[in-house]
Amino acid sequence: MKAFLSAAVGAMILTASSLHAQSVVTLQDTGEAGRYTIEASVNGVGVRTYYTEENWFVSMSSTTYLFLYENGYIHDEDVKGLTTLRMPDGSSTKGASFVIRKLMIGDHILVTDIPAFVVKKQTVPLIIGSSAFESLGDVAREGNRIVIGDLEEVSSLAEVVDPVDSLRHSAQAHLDAGEFAEAATCFADLHRRGALNMLTQYQYAMVLNILERDSENIGVSQDWLSSNEGKSLTMDYWILGGLGASYARTNENQKAIDSLEKAVAAYCKLFNTSEKEIKAGNFHDTELGSTLYRLGRVYAAEGKVQKTESRCSLAAKCGYQPAIDFCRQYKIKY
């Protein structure tokens, strides 16, 4: 779990070319109501991309997906599994879920590790919906432009003058180098200055969890959730999972269960899957499996046998090897 958390700390949103500039995406009208073309690339490959005002995230046609996969731009570890997609018109269809490691929108916006889906009947190469933009922060539509505020903005510039910007830059540099204790010191200083935004507070909590500084992590995570829960399912998952880990280490098992159950729910919603789909073997994902297994072990500590077996069997169905070994050892069906 620690390795997964380490990977997630620096993975979210890096943006604009100046410290406090807004990011702007230009829309080109396609002639179809509510649908526009925008510039975007997937894992470094330019892809013809449409933006839709419908409540939709990111989806790719099977033709585009196969091209990127066969040419090495999408890797086996990026693929999560099959799931059922609810289309904007209310219909359902089967689709594969995967992660886009680097989605570049326009010239300035880079989103990493963003969930996406393959829709077989989709003819448009790539569709980005309004829901994806909402996960970036404050979003406003101004004519033919989408303007994204600097809520989660982190500068990647080497030269900074403002002390707060300097601390943010230093924190990011320490994260990139895997220097988590040093990063935590920078985030603590930002916290004292009242200068943590949504992303830096998220990163602070993640780092504290990696360092197992549990009392601090619990406080920072609870603060983050009170202000930001529901704005980004990806962030919700990592914050709730880290919070659950801290509660488990401090033997606050019921709080750990509550947090980890919420983390599982967020992840399932993120990839549009469910317990039924996992049981049917339609969704294999070791990251979700690790959280389900941790949850099962906390239930075991509470003596809740049925819940333990339920969560550990789901973790095994996700392909998480420690859960498979546990189920075999205790003869739990999965």
Q: Which of 106, 121, 148 is the last residue of a domain?
A: 148
Residues 138 and 191 in one domain: no
Q: Domain for residue 16, yes or no?
A: no
Q: Which of 118, 148, 178 is the last residue of a domain?
A: 148
Residues 143 and 238 in one domain: no
pLDDT for the residue numbered 162: 65
Read off the tokens for 184: 């935590």
pLDDT for the residue numbered 81: 85
Domain region containing 282: 163-329
pLDDT for the residue numbered 22: 64
Could you give the CA distance from residue 159 to residue 156 in angstroms, rounded to a whole number?
9
Residues 144 and 197 in one domain: no
**Along the chain (334 residues), what's the average pLDDT of each consecutive run of 10 residues?**
48 36 79 86 92 86 92 90 77 86 82 86 89 72 77 38 76 86 95 89 94 97 94 88 97 98 94 91 91 97 97 96 96 93
Q: What are phi and psi of 210, to 5 degrees?
A: -60, -40
Residues 101 and 125 in one domain: yes
- Tell me which H or E stretch contains 243: helix 233-249
Per the structure, the count of domains in the chain is 2
Residues 198 and 105 in one domain: no
pLDDT for the residue numbered 90: 72
pLDDT for the residue numbered 110: 75
pLDDT for the residue numbered 120: 83
Q: Domain for residue 40, yes or no?
A: yes
Q: Domain for residue 10, yes or no?
A: no
Q: Domain for residue 5, yes or no?
A: no
User: Is residue 240 a contact partner of residue 264, using CB atoms and an 8 Å limit?
Assistant: no
Residues 168 and 138 in one domain: no
Q: Domain for residue 12, yes or no?
A: no
Residues 239 and 171 in one domain: yes
Residues 98 and 177 in one domain: no
Could you give the CA distance from residue 7 to residue 15 in angstroms, rounded to a whole number?
19
Residues 104 and 193 in one domain: no
- Report pTM: 0.78
Q: Which residues contact 232 (CB under 8 A, 6 or more apart)?
A: 12, 135
Q: For residue 112, what are the β-bridge partners? A: 102
Residues 177 and 292 in one domain: yes
Give burial (CB, 10 Å; 0-12/13-18/19+) of 98: buried
pLDDT for the residue numbered 149: 65
| DSSP-based three-state secondary structure for 44 | coil
Residues 173 and 315 in one domain: yes
DSSP labels, 157-190: -S---SHHHHHHHHHHHHHHTT-HHHHHHHHHHH
Q: Which residues contact 45 (CB under 8 A, 6 or more apart)?
A: 68, 73
Compute CA 310 distance to the chain's CA centroid, rounded to the nearest angstrom: 25
CA atoms within 13 A on the CB side of 213: 16
Q: What share of the chain is helix, strand, coil (3-state, %, to 5)?
A: 45, 20, 30
The count of other CB atoms within 10 Å of the CB of residue 334 is 16
Q: What size, in residues, is the chain? A: 334
Q: Which of 148, 176, 208 is the last residue of a domain?
A: 148
Q: Domain for residue 3, yes or no?
A: no
Q: Domain for residue 249, yes or no?
A: yes
Residues 300 and 187 in one domain: yes
